[in-house]
Amino acid sequence: MAGVTLEPTPVSPTPPAPPAQGGCGVRARSGPWVYSAPAILSLATWVYVPMVATGVASLLDWDLITPARYVGVANYRRLLADHDFHRAIWQTGWYVLMMLPLATVVPLALAITLWLRPGRVSSLYRALLFLPVVLAPAANAVSWQFVLNPLQGITNTVLADLGLPGPGWLNDPSWAPVVIVAMTTGKIIGLNTLLFSASLSAIDQSTIEAARVDGATSWEIVRHVIAAQLIRPVALLGLLCVLLAGQWVFTNVALVTQGGPNGATDNVYYRLYTYAFTFFDTGTAAAAAVVITVGVAAGYVLVRLAIGRVRHADAPTAG
Amino acid sequence: MIAVRHVGLRPRVAVAATGRHAAILIVIIGLLFPLFWVAVTSLRPANDLFSTSPIPWPMSVENYRDAIFRFPIGTMLLNTAIMAIAATLLQVTVAIGAAYALVRFRPRWGGAVVLLAGAAVVIPPQMLIIPQFLIASHLGWRDTYLGLIIPQLAACGLPILLLREYLVDIPTSLLEASIMDGARPAETLRLVVLPLLRPALAAVSILVFVNTWNEYLWPTLIAPQVNHTTIQAGLQLLGNQEGPTSGALLAAAMITTLPVLAVYAIASRRITHAFLQSGIK
């Protein structure tokens, strides 16, 4: 407030809210640039320059210390011949298969059940079901590791009391990926139950009233009215969720098993991370990044196109 | 938001209702049991961690004392809070600017910006992480707040898309009236758009904050030291150092979870609403 003159300035010369680029004087023509410059610069610096750099690095032999050397597609050739990468791809497919029902059937059943009986209890259930989505993965990892401790954990203690053999869980190559999926399930079920609940509440009530007048039971309504309207969007949202769940799986693997035991919990994201930050083989990691991104992009576009078609086909789905 | 009208079901046998409750409760208990068990166990004495009683008796705060004295939990929580708050403010501010520019001026290149923002949301972070790490290291940002905060701008695509959706819903007549009145773009933003956008800003900020608070990969890489890192990366470092069956580690995990639980208990409706908005789009 220093230096106040008698001349009152009715309008502050610089825009207050967005960080203005290059000082004063917002002209009409430069307006859109001024307001979107911070966003465009942010995306350029931290998304698109890195993306291009990854593309370039995939053609280099580079360990971040010695100077990089251009090697053409050698990294890709090595990557596609790498058995660890093959295994990671298969296991990623296995994760997707395991997670699909958890992203579709289970949350849909929960959403329908809650929807049929709205009320205070249902709201509480809904809040509890969503809770894992906001819980921190690190604390979640500590909890699961403690509960599934093979020697002293509560799970194996109870199994032993029942006279059942307790598996090694995270130390057992056949159980470890199941545990990783179980750890991720909370987030998947929580998010999709919420989304499906919203889709359900968007269904035209008059259809349901009409069915009810015709004497339909709730099960018949669920089967004929709801299922008919929701089956495809549910399947597609489920697929989309599984694509996103890749990141949750990555975090859980990094926190709990680091890909082990014997690579049993490995997947393409974690393999890329291993190339980059365990082996410091930047070129191969970059090549893996390009291959994975192309794969994910293809999957995403397919799902998105399919959802678009569904949206046009039957209006009251989501949105 | 999810206000569902009662459909008026005819009274069915009580067994079905009980079955429904049981099914939902089994799922909820299955998902939340590990957390519950760690909460119970963290309150036992350190030499009684493997008791199978669901009631922590005799109760003890030994593990919590241990965690607070032996681990820099306060520092890690503070780091996480600083990172999450700063990154949220930064992303949302940047996104307000872009969304406003797109809707108010309708520039010809607007479609390209939307496309770039959208693609940024779905690119797997692993694709970008190596160059991001190199850029940040080159700037001398390892183990610094700048390093934790600034590169999170990579995630500003989602708030841009969400805020744009909200802004498009503002009647154009309002914007036009303000332009007719001779308001500068900055005034229109401050006096017309931002007040209307307040609920949207709350929802988007919650979403970004939760995502940033739970961010694991980036802090692990850019700030790998216990005293400089966030709680997500830090808990793992402590776990590696302590082993998975340390009472202090369990208490530390609970300390990191309690603020989240408290916030969720107060604002679960707002939080789910925020996720719903982003999920549907």
Confidence of residue A5 (pLDDT cuts 50, 70, 90): very low
The least confident of A8-12, A225-229, B112-116 is A8-12
- Residues B51 and B84 both lie in one domain: no
pTM value is: 0.84
Given this model, what pLDDT does residue A221 score? 79
Asked if A17 and B135 come within 8 Å (Cβ–Cβ), the reply is: no
- The pLDDT > 90 percentage for chain A reads 29
Phi/psi-derived region of residue B125, left when phi > 0, alpha when psi is between -120 and 50, beta in every other case? alpha
Residue pLDDT, tens place only, B173-182: 887 788 778 7
Q: Chain B residue with minimal CA distance to A243?
A: B122
* Crossing angle of the two packed helices A268-277 and A282-313, in degrees rounded to 10: 150
Distance from CA of A109 to the nearest CA of B (A): 9
Q: Are residues B86 and B209 in the same domain?
A: yes
Query: What is the rounded distance in angstroms from the CA atom of residue A286 to the CA atom of residue B256?
Result: 34
Residues 229 through 268 of chain A touching chain B, CB cutoff 8 Å: 246-247, 250-251, 254-255
Half-sphere exposure of A224 (CA within 13 A, CB side): 12
Please tell me the predicted confidence (pLDDT) of residue A317: 39
Q: List chain A residues with CB under 8 Å of B281.
A: 319
Indicate the pLDDT class of residue B279, thresholds 50, 70 and 90: low
Report the gap between the CA of A48 and the closest CA in chain B (Å): 8
Q: Do B27 and A110 touch (CB under 8 A)?
A: yes
Mean pLDDT value across residues B108-122:
88
Q: Is residue B208 part of a domain?
A: yes
Instruction: Indicate if B25 and B164 belong to the same structural domain.
Output: no
Residue scoring higher pLDDT (B208 or B16):
B208
pLDDT of B14 higher than 80 = no
Structure tokens at B105: 């001026």
Model confidence over A124-141: pLDDT tens digits? 898 899 999 889 899 999
Residue A271: its H or E element:
helix A268-277
pLDDT for B45: 86
Together in a domain, B25 and B110: no
Residue B195 reports pLDDT greater than 90: no
More confident: B258 or A239: B258
Same domain as B40, residue B179: no
Residue A17 has pLDDT above 50, yes or no: no
Residues from chain A contacting residue B115 (CB–CB below 8 Å)? none
Tally of domains in chain B: 2
The pLDDT tens digits of the residues spanning A201-255 come to 877 777 777 887 887 777 787 777 777 777 777 777 787 788 778 889 999 999 9
Helix axes A120-134, A176-201, angle to 10 degrees: 130
- H or E stretch at A69: strand A69-70
Single out the residue of B12, B128, B102, B73 nearest to residue B259, CA to CA. Answer: B73
**Rounded mean pLDDT of A309-316?**
54
- Write the CB contacts of A188 (distance below 8 Å, at least 6 apart in sequence): A99, A102, A103, A107, A241, A242, A245, A248
Compute the distance between CA of residue B55 and CA of residue B160 in angstroms, rounded to an integer: 47
Q: Is the predicted pLDDT of residue A318 greater than 70, yes or no?
A: no
Read off the pLDDT band of A315 (50, 70, 90): very low
pLDDT band at B1 (very low <50, low <70, confident <90, very high): very low
Is A80 touching B (CB cutoff 8 A)?
Answer: no
What's the mean pLDDT when you consider all of chain A? 81
Question: CB B144: neighbour CB atoms within 10 A?
Answer: 15
Q: Domain residues of chain A, as ranges?
A: 96-266
- Give CA–CA dist B104/B192, Å, rounded: 12
List, as ranges, residues 122-181 from A with C-beta within 8 Å of B: 125-147, 149, 152-154, 157-158
% of chain A exceeding 70 in pLDDT: 87
Residue whose C-alpha is closest to residue A212's, from A203, A195, A194, A225:
A225
Find, in chain A, the residue whose alpha carbon is nearest to that of B273.
A194
Q: Which residues contact A4 (CB under 8 A, 6 or more apart)?
A: none
Dist CA A201 CA B4 (whole Å)? 6
A155: left (phi over 0), alpha (psi -120 to 50) or beta: alpha
Which pLDDT band holds residue B144 (cuts at 50, 70, 90)?
very high
Complex prediction ipTM: 0.85
Q: Is residue B6, in this structure, part of any structural domain at all?
A: no
Q: Does B198 touch chain A (CB under 8 A)?
A: no
- List pLDDT tens digits, range A55-85: 999 999 888 788 888 888 889 999 999 999 9
Do residues B38 and B167 share a domain? no
Same domain, residue pair B192 and B55: no
Same domain? For B46 and B181 the reply is: no
H/E segment holding residue A70 = strand A69-70
State whether B62 and B80 are in the same domain: no
Any domain includes B96 = yes
Cβ neighbour number for residue B198 with a 10 Å cutoff: 9
| Residue B184: pLDDT band with limits 50, 70, 90 | confident
Clarify whether residues B104 and B205 are in a common domain: yes
pLDDT of residue A15: 43
Task: Calculate the dihedral angle through the C-alpha atoms of A309, A311, A312, A314, rounding to the nearest 10 degrees.
Answer: 120
* Per-residue model confidence (pLDDT) at position B280: 55
Asked if the C-beta of A37 comes within 8 angstroms of chain B's C-beta atoms, the answer is: yes
Q: Quick one: how far is CA A224 from the chain centroid? A: 31
Burial of B49 (0-12, 13-18, 19+ CB in 10 A): middle
Shared domain check, B165 and B54: no
Instruction: Find the mean pLDDT for residues A145-166.
Output: 89
For A73-77, B22-26, B105-109, B228-232, which range has the lowest pLDDT when averaged over its residues?
Answer: B105-109
Task: Please give the pLDDT value at position A41.
Answer: 93
CATH number of A96-266, picked from 2.30.30.230, 1.10.3720.10, 1.25.10.10, 2.70.150.10: 1.10.3720.10
What does the pLDDT average to over A43-54? Answer: 94
What is residue B108's predicted lDDT score, i.e. its pLDDT?
A: 86
Residue-number span of the structural domain to which B23 is assigned: 14-68
Q: In this predicted structure, what is the pLDDT of residue A29?
A: 63
Is the pLDDT assigned to residue A288 strictly greater than 90?
Answer: yes
Give the pLDDT score at A16. 43
Q: Mind listing the pLDDT tens digit for each residue in B159-174?
A: 999 899 888 888 878 8
Q: Is residue B173 part of a domain?
A: yes
One domain, residues B110 and B63: no
Any B CB within 8 A of A302 CB:
no
One-character DSSP codes across A145-159: HHHT-TTT-HHHHHH
Residues 53-92 of B with CB under 8 A from A: none
Residue A42 in this model has a pLDDT that exceeds 90: yes
Query: Which residues of B are less than 8 Å from A158 in CB distance?
Result: 52
Nearest to B4 among A39, A115, A247 (CB): A115
Which letter does DSSP use for residue A61 in this model?
A: E
> CA triplet A179, A185, A186: central angle to 5 degrees?
120
Beta partners for residue A69, in sequence order: A61
Q: Is residue B82 scored above 80 in pLDDT?
A: yes
